[in-house]
Amino acid sequence: MTKATFAAGCFWGVEAEFRRLAGVTATAVGYAGGHTQDPTYKDVCSDRTGHAEVVQVEYDPARVSYEQLLDVFWECHDPTQRNRQGPDVGTQYRSAIFYHDDAQQAAALASKQKLEQSGRYRKPIATEITAAGQFYRAEEDHQRYLEKRGLASCTVELRDPAAPRERWKSPV
């Protein structure tokens, strides 16, 4: 199995989106990209740890490619919003791809460039692409949060108002 790590706003809906993809064998929500060791959800929400809410995806590259994971990532949030997604504001909600090797870095950069050149957005893509560092697993009540509550999706629709409506869906 191979790992991929993405930050696309609140991790609950993003995790559910990746869990639906054939070839994804496991997901975990947590925190990455910050400077505090062993942060809690409360710590991260203080906006003082530097962490993003992330989903770490384990996948079988024989069944799903990293490029397909990138497609899900781009579709499940608005990558033009800096340090926010919809009503959620703070650095923990930033858009970021944390790559685990050179191949992931190259694919992420190429994917971002392709999206920027597509003309889909009026605003620039704000997504950070950075090396994966320490991943801190979130508390157990945050794992599969929506599933545990019998929810199929988050209620907030995240989309760029300038993007064609048919290209967007609820984040889960």
Radius of gyration of the chain from its Cα atoms, rounded to whole angstroms:
15
pLDDT digits 0-9 by tens, 72-100: 999 999 999 999 988 889 999 999 999 99
Q: Which option is the CATH number for 2-167: 3.40.50.9100, 3.40.605.10, 2.30.130.10, 3.30.1060.10?
A: 3.30.1060.10
pLDDT digits 0-9 by tens, 131-165: 999 999 988 787 876 676 676 666 544 444 444 43
State pTM to two decimals: 0.85
pLDDT digits 0-9 by tens, 12-33: 888 989 999 999 999 999 999 9
Rounded Cα–Cα distance for residues 67 and 49 (Å)? 30
- Residues marked as catalytic: 10
Reading phi first (left if > 0) and then psi (alpha if -120 to 50, else beta), residue 104 is in: alpha
Rounded Cα–Cα distance for residues 25 and 80 (Å)? 29
